[in-house]
């Protein structure tokens, strides 16, 4: 890897460390920057830092994989509705558990249900977006938005049918980091994210070759079917992890890969590492921002609200640029 790219990756790692330091200084009920005064507060903030970093890294890496898989700059877990599909799976597991024994299902059951929801959603979207043997960019986005809205509506309905009327799930539905997530689940999530990073690195050359047509990729020795299955599984797993940890978070998996690609270029080996680091840093800064705002009565603002407000306009600019360069029939 060229020295320039190694230097840039080092700067991304430094930015991640600085973002973590800033996050540790925020969260005081009175506002401002303060180091935690007790070990308990420090442990809570460290757990929050771990969750935010993992969610951002998972979403950004999933975005890199989906954009390579579909050769589509608009592909991301939330735009394609995969995030909403995983959220619907988690909500369905919670609803069934509440009806069966008035108890919330364990994180393992929620993760499995979220993975099934993400896989089914992606399968439906790909099936409806095929045109003449290929994937149509505009159809992919439109179908993904419709499926995502449908899954979000169904998730909200299931939450309303819960015994408490969905009060306990309101913050999760908006995308919020909860410090009560078990430590073992955080550790397991990081192990899976690390495995997905290594898998992406192993597939990097094949992903570079897949940016051409399928025939050209096969001529270069790429097993296209195997690569697709690998990227589908890993992107679905990463999306499910983010949903289980913090609920549906939008636009991180879309914007971060593009920003990193502008700096590092299109090669997927440095892009995967850079997006993972940058995604974690962005989520840390977003959560640090909401943690620094003192709200005595309503609690913290969900971090998903911040990513939606910032990412929405950026997505419109990206969509406009894509439509401008699209060849009309």
What percent of the chain stands above pLDDT 70?
88
Measured distance CA(304)–CA(293) in Å, rounded = 15
* Tens-place pLDDT, residues 202-242: 999 999 988 887 778 788 788 888 888 888 889 988 998 99
pLDDT of residue 27: 64
pLDDT tops 50 at residue 327: no
pLDDT tops 50 at residue 328: no
pLDDT of residue 154: 92
Measured distance CA(246)–CA(56) in Å, rounded = 10
* Tens-place pLDDT, residues 153-186: 999 898 888 877 766 677 778 888 888 888 888 9
pLDDT tops 70 at residue 64: yes
* Tens-place pLDDT, residues 231-272: 888 998 899 899 889 888 988 998 999 889 989 988 999 999
Q: Is residue 1 part of a domain?
A: no
Give every CB contact of residue 315 below 8 A, 6+ residues apart in sequence.
Answer: 79, 251, 254, 255
- What mean pLDDT is predicted for residues 52-71? 92
* Tens-place pLDDT, residues 144-153: 889 989 998 9
Q: How confident is the model at residue 190 (pLDDT cuts 50, 70, 90)?
A: very high
Q: Is residue 173 part of a domain?
A: yes
Measured distance CA(307)–CA(76) in Å, rounded = 14
CATH code at position 177: 1.10.3470.10
Which one has a higher pLDDT value, 30 or 199? 199
Measured distance CA(66)–CA(72) in Å, rounded = 8
Give every CB contact of residue 227 below 8 A, 6+ residues apart in sequence.
Answer: 69, 203, 206, 207, 210
pLDDT of residue 329: 40
Q: Is residue 23 part of a domain?
A: no
Q: What is the mean pLDDT of the chain?
A: 84
pLDDT of residue 135: 64
Q: Is residue 43 part of a domain?
A: no
Q: Is residue 39 part of a domain?
A: no
Q: Is residue 199 part of a domain?
A: yes
pLDDT of residue 298: 58
Number of folded domains that form the chain: 1
C-alpha distances (whole Å) from 172 to each of 145, 154, 191 are 20, 15, 23
Measured distance CA(224)–CA(218) in Å, rounded = 7
Range with the poorest average pLDDT among 125-129, 293-297, 316-320: 293-297
Q: Is residue 24 part of a domain?
A: no
Q: Is residue 6 part of a domain?
A: no
Q: Is 215 helix (H, G, I), strand (E, B) or coil?
A: helix
Measured distance CA(123)–CA(136) in Å, rounded = 15
pLDDT tops 50 at residue 95: yes
For tokens 């920057």, what's the residue? 33
Domain of residue 103: give its range. Answer: 54-322
- What mean pLDDT is predicted for residues 113-140? 78
pLDDT tops 50 at residue 276: yes
pLDDT tops 70 at residue 90: yes
């Amino acid at each position: 890897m060229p020295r320039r790219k190694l230097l840039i990756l080092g700067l991304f790692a430094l930015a991640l460390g600085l973002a973590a330091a800033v996050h540790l200084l925020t969260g005081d009920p009175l506002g401002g920057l303060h180091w935690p005064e007790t070990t308990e507060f420090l442990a809570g903030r460290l757990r929050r830092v771990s969750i935010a970093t993992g969610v951002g890294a998972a979403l950004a890496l999933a975005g890199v994989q989906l954009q390579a898989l579909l050769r589509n700059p608009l592909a991301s877990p939330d735009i394609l509705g995969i995030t909403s599909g995983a959220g619907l799976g988690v909500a369905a597991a919670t609803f069934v558990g509440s009806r069966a024994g008035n108890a919330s299902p364990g994180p393992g059951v929620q993760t499995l249900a979220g993975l099934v929801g993400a896989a089914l959603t992606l399968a439906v979207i790909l099936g409806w977006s095929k045109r003449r043997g290929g994937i149509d960019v505009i159809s992919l986005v439109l179908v993904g938005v419709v499926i995502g809205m449908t899954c979000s509506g169904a998730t909200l309905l299931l939450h309303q049918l819960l015994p408490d009327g969905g009060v306990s799930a309101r913050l999760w539905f908006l995308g919020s980091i909860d410090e009560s997530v078990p430590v073992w689940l955080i550790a397991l999530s990081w192990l899976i994210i690390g495995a997905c990073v290594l898998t992406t690195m192993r597939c990097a050359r094949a992903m570079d070759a897949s940016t051409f047509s399928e025939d050209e990729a096969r001529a270069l020795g790429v097993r296209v079917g195997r690569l697709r299955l690998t990227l589908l599984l890993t992107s679905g797993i990463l999306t499910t992890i983010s949903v289980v940890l913090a609920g549906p978070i939008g636009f991180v998996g879309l914007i971060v890969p593009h920003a990193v690609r502008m700096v590092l270029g299109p090669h997927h080996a440095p892009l995967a590492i850079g997006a993972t680091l940058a995604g974690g840093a962005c989520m840390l800064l977003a959560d640090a921002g909401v943690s620094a705002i003192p709200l005595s009565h309503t609690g913290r603002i969900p971090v998903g609200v911040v990513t939606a407000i910032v990412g929405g306009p950026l997505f419109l600019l990206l969509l406009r640029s894509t439509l401008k360069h699209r060849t009309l029939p």
